[in-house]
Amino acid sequence: MLDRAIAEVGSDRIAVRVHPDVARGLAKGFLASEARQRGVTLIPEEIDPISLLECVEEVWTVSSQLGLEAAMRGVPVTTFGMPFYGGWGLTRDLAEGVVADAARSRRTRRRDLTAVFSAAYVHYTRYADPVTRRRIDIHGAIDRLLDWRLRDEPLRGRTVHCFGFSSWKQRATRRFLGGFSGTVNFHRRWRIPRSAKPADSICVWGMRGPRAFEEQCRAAGFAFDRVEDGFVRSPGLGSRLIEPGSVVVDSLAMHFDAARPSALEELIASLEPDAQLLRRAGSLRERLIADQITKYNLASEPPDLRKLARGRRIVLVPGQVPDDASVVLGARGIADNLSLVRAVRERHPEACLVYKQHPDLVARTRRKDRQTEQIAAYADCVLQDSSMAALLAMVDEVHVLASLTGFEALVRGIPVTCWGLPFYAGWGLTTDMQPCERRRRKVDLETLIAAALIVYPRYIEPVSGVPCSIEDYLEALIELRRTTTQFHLSASPHSFGQRLRARMRRLARSLAPRPVL
C-alpha cells in the first residue's frame, strides 16, 4: 500500500498515521519504520484522526474504520483489504487474493453510503448506556458521548496537583479532576512541586493547608481550586469512607466560608436561567421530594413527631460537628449546637423542638459532641439515627447554623431560619439572623436549585465511574438504595486496614491537647 501510494502521488504528498496501540507499544507494527526509510511524514499520535480528514485529499487503508469515516465526509477512500464497507461501490478496492475475490463475488450489489451506514451503525450494532445500564439506540449513544466530551473538555490533557486528600479519596478524585485523559498527582508536603508547569492547576481538599500556600500558588500564576463533597453526596457517610458521587470545585473560596465570596455565591448572584434550565430545576425539586433524596441518604425511620408534638408547631434543629469548617467559617455569634438550641427555644418557647444529632457524631467517627446532655434540657426530642428526608416531611420549621439541612428544607418548601451564613442564606428565601451585605439579589427557589445542584457540582455515576448529570446520578443513587441494605450502605468498600488507620488518626486527634485561646 505504501509503495503504491508513493508511486502514484509521491512521498512528499503522503502522511502516515500509525495505529494508537502500535504507537504506545501495545501492539507490533512496521508501517512507521517503513515510512521513515522512505522519507514519508509521520503524524503524531495525539492528533485527532477525525480532524485529519478535513485536510487530506484521499485516505488509503487496509481495513481501518477510518476509511468509512472518511467516506462519510466525502473523502475518496482506497482499500487494500476487504473491510465490511468495501466492495459496495463506495471505495476503490485494490485487495488481491482468494479472500478478496470471494468477498467481491458476494458483494455484487451497489449500495450508497446511507445504506452502508444504516446497516452498520443502526441495525447491526447494539448500544447500551453504561450510566443507566439500559439498552439505547444510536441517538442515545451519540448524546451520551457528546455529554461526556462536553464534561471532559475542561479537564482534557491537563495536570492537577492535589494536596490534603485522604488516601481513600484518591480514586474518586482522579475521576472528578482528571477526566479521561488528565493527570492527577497527590502530594503530602505543602509546597509547589518542582515538576509543576504554568498550565498545571493546584487543588486542595476543603480548607486544609496554610493560607500562605494558597497565596503562594496564586502569586506563581497557578490555577487554584478547593474541592469538597457535593450537596447530594452518596448512599452513606463520608466518615465511613463511602466515596462521594459528587464534588464541588471552587476557584475562589469554599461555599461555607462566609468571610469571602465563593464561585457558587457569584453564580447565584449572576445566573439568569433560561426556560429549559428552570424546568430542569423544577423537575429536580419534585424528584428530590418524591424519592426522599438528601445528602447522605440514610434510611432509618424517625419516630412519629406529630404524636409527640400534640398539636404544637414542630421546629427542627439539625446539629453540626462542632469543629466542622462550615461551623467555624459560616457561623457568627452563635457558634455551637447548645447555643443554637437555647436561642431557638427562647424564640419558640411553646414549640415542639426536635434536635437531630449529626450522623458523623452518631457514628462516633468524629469528635463527640459533649453538649448533647445539656441540649436535651431544651429540646423535646433528641434524635440520632433518622432519615433526614422522612424527618423533614413531619416538621413545620427548620433552624440551622450553616447546615445543608436548611437547603434541603427549602427544597421541600419548609420555612428556614439561618443563624449562620450558609450559601443559601441572604437571597430572600430564608429568615436570616446574620445579614450579608454582598448578597443583595432576590432569587427564586428554582434559580437557587439550578445553581447549587445542576451547574456548580460535578457528578460521577457510582457504578461505572463515568461523568454524568445530576438526573443520571439520582437514578443510580435510587437504584443503589433499592438494592442495597442499610448495613451495606453504612459499610465501607475499603479494606479493614484503611478503616482502622482512619479510626486511629481520628482517635489521636481527639486525644491531642487543645490550645487555650
Domain definitions of the chain by residue range: 2-124, 151-270, 281-508
pLDDT for res 236: 59
The rounded mean pLDDT for the chain is 87
Gap between the Cα atoms of 227 and 97, Å rounded: 61
pLDDT category at 354 given cuts 50, 70, 90 is: very high
pLDDT for res 27: 87
* More confident: 371 or 431: 431
Q: What residues pair up with 42 in beta bridges, in sequence order? A: 16
Gap between the Cα atoms of 369 and 383, Å rounded: 14
DSSP symbol at 430: S
What CATH number has the domain spanning 151-270? 3.40.50
pLDDT for res 474: 92
Share of the chain above pLDDT 70, in %: 88
pLDDT reading at 499 higher than 60: no
pLDDT for res 367: 52
What is the per-residue pLDDT across 480-494, written as a single tens digit (0 to 9) for each? 777 754 333 333 444
pLDDT for res 133: 86
Gap between the Cα atoms of 446 and 160, Å rounded: 33
pTM of the predicted model as reported, rounded to 2 decimal places: 0.81
The grid coordinates of residue 350 equal: 411553646
Gap between the Cα atoms of 360 and 382, Å rounded: 15
Least confident window among 35-44, 126-135, 328-337, 364-373: 364-373
Sequence-ordered alpha helix ranges (H) in 382-467: 388-392, 405-411, 445-449
pLDDT category at 503 given cuts 50, 70, 90 is: low
Q: Do the Cβ atoms of 79 and 67 come closer than 8 Å?
A: yes
pLDDT reading at 515 higher than 70: no
Least confident window among 67-71, 438-442, 508-512: 508-512
pLDDT category at 302 given cuts 50, 70, 90 is: confident
